[in-house]
């Protein structure tokens, strides 16, 4: 626990993501211009989230052919639009909404059967579907879907420039040749994948249901934490959970009080730039470190509110994160017990 290989720190990837984030600010300016002209608007935060998830399908599975990454991004773009419309369709019906969530998560995790890239693609789509209702609260379905297309489209366009992604590979790893076939040497047994997908699906549905009942600011917090730390290994899930609770808490508290005491816009821009750089530069070192950096960026605007509502948001985030990792550990402990019995 907390033993990291710092040689995997990727400054190039951090700079690329930080530059892309600066592009989001231009999108925000563009959104205002489009609004004034009466043209198509879209939620910028949805576009940024979609872009980050699209990026994950590339940087977290680097040992693939270039065209496989392109096909994955195209699938993410198209299926993400379909899932956005599905989220809007079931939103008025809570029971149907939970059922759809369970099915989407199950299919996403069952995609592990076809290898790491299929699983990462499914995971990112499930994550997008989990967050889509938040974007749809204040927006119609078309702007949210368009925001997804903008975010995924930017990553797709960048990925067409293969040298960028070659430089964004994990330090010390050679970029795969475009004509080299990638062979998956080992995959989990089908029975384990089936049980894993089922247990994670039930856990996410339970987290969303509990969040909708007990949390007032964001009903997805519990499920969000669960889906980020759960893995087929109890040891890995336990390690990821402890690291997420500790590093995530430090990130939330640090970002919140930085915003509370230094609410100036230029400080927010600096915090966002540094957190974005460090977050992606550390992604191959530890995903928990990446999450901690992103929490600094997320919590800073809460602190600038300087109100009781801001404390409520931050406190619910802390409590929801803790409950989410507990759900993940219990779920995988159950999975391991079933495996031992078999």
Q: Which residues of the chain have pLDDT under 70?
A: 1, 20-43, 162-188, 342
Rounded distance between C-alpha atoms, residue 178 and residue 138, angstroms: 43
Residue ranges of domains in the chain: 8-185, 188-342
Write down the pLDDT at residue 167. 53
Rounded distance between C-alpha atoms, residue 332 and residue 101, angstroms: 19
Write down the pLDDT at residue 172. 44
Write down the pLDDT at residue 64. 78
Write down the pLDDT at residue 182. 39
Rounded distance between C-alpha atoms, residue 340 and residue 322, angstroms: 27
183-222 tens-digit pLDDT: 344 566 788 889 999 999 999 999 999 998 888 888 899 9
* Predicted TM-score of the model (pTM): 0.83
Write down the pLDDT at residue 186. 57
Write down the pLDDT at residue 260. 93
Rounded distance between C-alpha atoms, residue 5 and residue 13, angstroms: 16
């Amino acid at each position: 626990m907390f033993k990291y290989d710092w040689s995997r720190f990727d400054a190039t990837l951090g700079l690329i993501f930080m530059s892309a984030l600066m592009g989001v600010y231009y999108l925000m300016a563009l959104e205002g211009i489009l609004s004034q002209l009466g043209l198509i608007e879209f939620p910028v935060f949805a576009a940024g989230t979609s872009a980050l998830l699209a990026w994950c399908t590339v940087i977290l599975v680097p040992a693939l052919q270039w065209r496989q990454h392109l096909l994955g991004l195209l699938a993410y773009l198209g299926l993400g639009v379909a899932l956005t419309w599905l989220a809007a369709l079931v939103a008025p019906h809570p029971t149907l909404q939970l059922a759809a969530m369970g099915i989407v998560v199950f299919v996403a995790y069952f995609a592990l059967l076809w290898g790491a890239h299929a699983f990462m693609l499914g995971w990112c789509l499930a994550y997008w579907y989990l967050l889509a209702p938040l974007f749809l609260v204040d927006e119609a379905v078309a702007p949210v879907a368009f925001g997804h297309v903008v975010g995924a489209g930017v990553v797709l366009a960048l990925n067409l420039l293969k040298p960028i992604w070659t430089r964004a590979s994990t330090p010390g790893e050679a970029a795969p040749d475009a004509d080299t076939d990638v062979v998956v040497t080992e995959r989990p047994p089908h029975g384990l994948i089936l049980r894993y997908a089922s247990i994670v699906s039930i856990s996410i549905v339970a987290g969303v249901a509990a969040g909708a009942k007990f949390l007032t600011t964001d009903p997805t917090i519990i499920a969000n934490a669960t889906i980020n730390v759960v893995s087929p290994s109890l040891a890995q899930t336990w390690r990821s959970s402890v690291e997420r609770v500790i590093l995530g808490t430090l990130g939330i508290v640090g970002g919140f009080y930085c915003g509370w005491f230094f609410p100036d816009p230029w400080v927010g821009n600096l915090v966002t730039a540094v957190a974005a750089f460090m977050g992606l530069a550390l992604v191959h070192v530890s995903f928990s470190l990446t999450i901690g950096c992103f929490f600094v960026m997320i919590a800073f605007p809460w602190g600038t509110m300087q109100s009781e509502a801001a404390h409520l948001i931050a406190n619910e985030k802390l409590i929801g994160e803790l409950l989410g990792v507990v759900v993940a550990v219990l779920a995988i402990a159950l999975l391991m017990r079933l495996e031992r019995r078999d």
